[in-house]
Chains A and B, each alone.
Chain A
């Protein structure tokens, strides 16, 4: 009989972490540019400038080793930064995919040459990154990808199509999952290749999402040339590297998201107070339940960060973060329009915008159903894996 694994470690902040928090907070207060402009080009520029400013202040890559341009601190510092960043009017870092996902994966699986070439430009966003995973025939069944990479000496020639590629239209580099071993099937024979988005064979086409906003794209590759030395983790090890990258989509991402959701809930609570509805039982219950779920999301995020830092995250454990995030995000905006009523629900505004946008969270980065499959196999060991 196994003993409960209790209590698990979450992050504990020390006085020096709180000093850093105070420093970041006062910097943010002075430099927060507020809500970015609507216009795409202007917005892009503003976001780029923001990350450059943050980098200039020394806040990007706090947990990265100093030799890669980081500050050599630990994940507590990174968590503090994420939390404080989320309290500004600006959205996520323009190169969050680079800084939080591709960079750490290169540090884990890549070689020194790749680290030298690619890490520093991620920090100041001079090179923004995207992730080329999904394909038209490979969504939930990611291992079914068909994009081919023909190895020719020290070159890889890539042909195929990616879809739902977030930020491909602003990215300079793409971590692209391709099949480099002809005739291989499923998880075998895949490689995670760094593709230069300025290669003439790369064609990025907008794929407007539900709100007619451009977040993601289709990405067509026609004889795109990449280099064997740019394969993260070596030829044939793409699946492992890609899974690692996906697990980095939890951790800090979830933490930051959690703070943004907390801000939305704060706003909703303030509206309820303004409308004199804070004495209603239904209002209190609903806000209370969502508030509790957000606290648990934070606790789970902290737990994941500790596991990532120690390198002992159980396989599949970040599916908990992802599923819980999906639930609470969707619950929150559903509650918002329900509590704010038809005047809000019938009109286009931030709440209805976020309600629609929230439908993506149970799909991207592995759908709810896939996460449940992962939990049942990897965490519960069903079907003989136990």
Chain B
């Protein structure tokens, strides 16, 4: 059973309410049109809501919320299309610094403090599991890049020797998409082994949950719209073709929800080893964004011409979900990863 805390549930609720007010569709569209992040005061307000420390233990100045709370929070971020830098700080950079600090790295502890105080800006990148290039989301002026590898965390100074950052125009606009090339650079901070793998794994689960939350919102909007929009003299939800499309969206999201729940439960089980968690991570990384994407595509379809418009903003959800899916490698590559590990288990018994 999951062990959500009252504190975590309260935080998710208050975030959900505040974010609904702070991040209106108009504001999001405006930032998207100009390919810039949300205005600084908005990001500051969001930072003030206390998210950065959710995955950091209390000893290091965080809230130390369990995974059960963090997956919910990630879904709230997706639901409101919160700027990726907020997610990356909370689920990538902060736990990465915390892992290094827990290993006795004093510099990491200092940087973590700065990050939690909003005085340090970093970009976060995850290396590909599938031989693709490494992409990061880096806010303008970020001083460091936190590189979450599959076995190793490495923090590099932006602009340092052997660290190349190439800015790109992102499909999900305003998030600071870059390509990162690191060659021969010594990291400022590094963490290896299980601690590094856990941070990486949970970051990926967070991306999947963000896509889930985003897609769930589009399904809610679509169900309400289908009941309201009339054609041929009746609500379009009364046509089975439309109702079944919505039901298919729901099906994908419910099995995803079960999968996320399973991961959280497994994480709390004694018998669960790193291999089990890794297997489930791979399942979530493949299945959840794929279901989220299909749901969002369904949402656009149900809304018809309006769904395709700029002003409704469903495309913002679509862009975010696609970004999550391809940061996680994409549907085929993530399936192949599962297949490779599965065949390997069969070979070795």
Give the residues in chain B near A376, CB-CB below 8 Å. Answer: 237, 243-244, 246-247, 250
A386 to B221, CA, bound (A): 13
A321-357 at interface with B (beta carbon < 8 Å): 323-324
Chain A residues lying within 8 Å of B279, measured Cβ to Cβ, are 295
A296, B287: Cβ atoms under 8 Å? yes
Considering only CB atoms, which chain A residue lies closest to B285 in the complex?
A292
Q: How far is the CA of A323 from the CA of B17 in the complex (A)?
A: 34
Provide the B226-266 mask, 1 if CB < 8 A to any CB of A, else 0.
Answer: 11000000010110100110111011001111111111111
Interchain CA distance A261-B286 in the complex, whole Å: 20
In the complex, the answer to whether A4 meets B269 with C-beta atoms within 8 Å is: no
- Looking at chain B's contact residues, the main secondary structure is helix
A361 to B223, CA, bound (A): 28
Nearest CB to that of B345 among chain A residues? A269
A12 at the interface (CB under 8 A from B): yes
> B343: which of A272, A298, A299, A300 is its contact (CB, 8 Å)?
A272
Cβ contact within 8 Å between B260 and A6: yes
Task: Name A270-290 residues within 8 Å CB distance of B.
Answer: 270, 272-273, 278, 281, 283-289
**B119 is an interface residue with CB less than 8 A from chain A:** no
The CA of A278 and the CA of B348, in the complex, are separated in Å by 13
Inter-chain CA distance A373–B239, complex, in Å, is 11
- Chain B contacts for A244, CB-based, 8 A: none
Which residue of B224, B268, B338 has the most chain A CB atoms within 10 A of its CB atom? Answer: B338
Confirm or deny: B308 has a beta carbon within 8 angstroms of a beta carbon on chain A: no
Q: Hey, which chain A residues are within 8 Å of B268, CB to CB?
A: 12
B132 at the interface (CB under 8 A from A): no
A281→B336 contact, CB < 8 A: yes
- Asked if A151 CB lies within 8 Å of chain B CBs, one says no
* CB proximity of A380 to chain B, nearest CB, Å: 5
Does B212 lie at the interface of the complex (its beta carbon under 8 Å from any beta carbon of A)?
A: yes
Q: State whether the Cβ of A302 lies closer than 8 Å to any Cβ in chain B.
A: yes
- Whether B247 lies near A380 (C-beta < 8 A) is yes
Which of A278, A283, A291, A302 is B262 in contact with, Cβ under 8 Å? A302
Interface 0/1 of B320-338, CB less than 8 Å to A: 0000000000001011111
- Is B71 engaged at the interface, CB distance under 8 Å to the other chain? yes
**A122, chain B: closest CB distance, angstroms:** 29
How many positions in chain B have a CB within 8 Å of any CB in the partner chain? 70
Asked if A8 is at the interface of the complex by the 8 Å CB criterion, the answer is yes
Q: Quote the shortest CB–CB distance from B341 to chain A (angstroms).
A: 8
Is B244 touching A299 in the complex (CB atoms < 8 A)? no
Given the known interface contacts A4-B79, A7-B264, A8-B261, the answer about A373 and B335 at a Cβ–Cβ threshold of 8 Å is no
Least CB distance from B62 to A in Å reads 20
* B269:A284 contact, CB within 8 angstroms: no
A13 with B71: in contact, given A3-B16, A287-B343 (CB under 8 Å)? no
**How far is B72's CA from A382's CA once the two chains are assembled, in angstroms?**
26
Say whether B72 contacts A383, CB under 8 Å: no
Q: Are A278 and B71 in contact (CB under 8 A)?
A: no
Which of A3, A324, A382 contacts B13, CB < 8 Å? A3
- Identity of the chain A residue whose Cβ is nearest the Cβ of B331 in the assembled complex: A289
Contact residue among B212, B216, B343 (Cβ-Cβ distance under 8 Å from A273):
B343
In the assembled complex, A108 has its CB within 8 A of some CB on chain B: no
Bound Cα distance A281, B336 (Å): 7
Q: Are A303 and B261 in contact (CB under 8 A)?
A: yes
State the CA gap A281–B243 with chains docked (Å).
36
Within 8 A of A (CB), among B265-290: 265-266, 268-271, 279-280, 282-283, 286-287
Find out whether the CB atom of B332 lies under 8 angstroms from the CB atom of A13.
no
Contacts between chains A and B (CB distance < 8 A), count: 194
- Give the CA-CA distance A383 to B220 in the complex, in Å: 14
Q: CB-CB < 8 A to B271: which residues of A?
A: 13, 18
The answer to whether B287 touches A293, judged by C-beta atoms less than 8 angstroms apart, is: yes
Q: Which of B251, B263, B336 contacts A288 (CB 8 A)?
A: B336
- Using known A-B contacts A6-B72, A383-B237, determine if residue A292 contacts B287 with beta carbons closer than 8 Å: yes
Q: Is the CB of B163 closer than 8 A to any CB of chain A?
A: no
Cβ of B98 under 8 Å from chain A: no
Query: Are A8 and B227 in touch, CB under 8 angstroms?
Result: no
Is A286's CB under 8 angstroms from B212's CB? no
CB-CB under 8 A for A6 and B250, given A1-B16, A299-B258: no
Partner pick for A287 among B254, B255, B332, B339, CB 8 A cutoff: B339
A372–B255 touching, CB < 8 Å: no
Q: Does B173 contact A (CB under 8 A)?
A: no
Query: Chain A, 352-383, contact with B by CB distance < 8 Å: what is the 0/1 string?
Result: 00000000000000000101110111011111
Cβ of B258 and Cβ of A278 under 8 Å apart?
A: no
Contacts A12-B1, A287-B339, A380-B246 hold; do A320 and B254 have CB atoms under 8 A apart? yes
Closest to A11 in B: B265
* B168 contacts chain A at the CB level, 8 A cutoff: no
B224, B244, B257, B268 interface centre (most CB from chain A within 10 Å): B257
7 pairs of A and B residues whose beta carbons are closest in the complex: A288-B339, A284-B339, A288-B338, A299-B262, A375-B247, A376-B243, A8-B261
Question: Given A289-B286, A291-B339, 7 more contacts at CB 8 Å?
Answer: A12-B268, A13-B271, A273-B347, A288-B335, A291-B342, A382-B223, A382-B246
Q: List 25 A-B contacts (CB under 8 A).
A: A1-B17, A3-B16, A8-B257, A266-B346, A278-B343, A284-B339, A285-B335, A285-B336, A287-B339, A288-B340, A292-B286, A292-B287, A292-B335, A292-B338, A295-B280, A295-B283, A299-B262, A303-B261, A306-B1, A317-B254, A320-B250, A320-B251, A372-B243, A382-B226, A382-B246
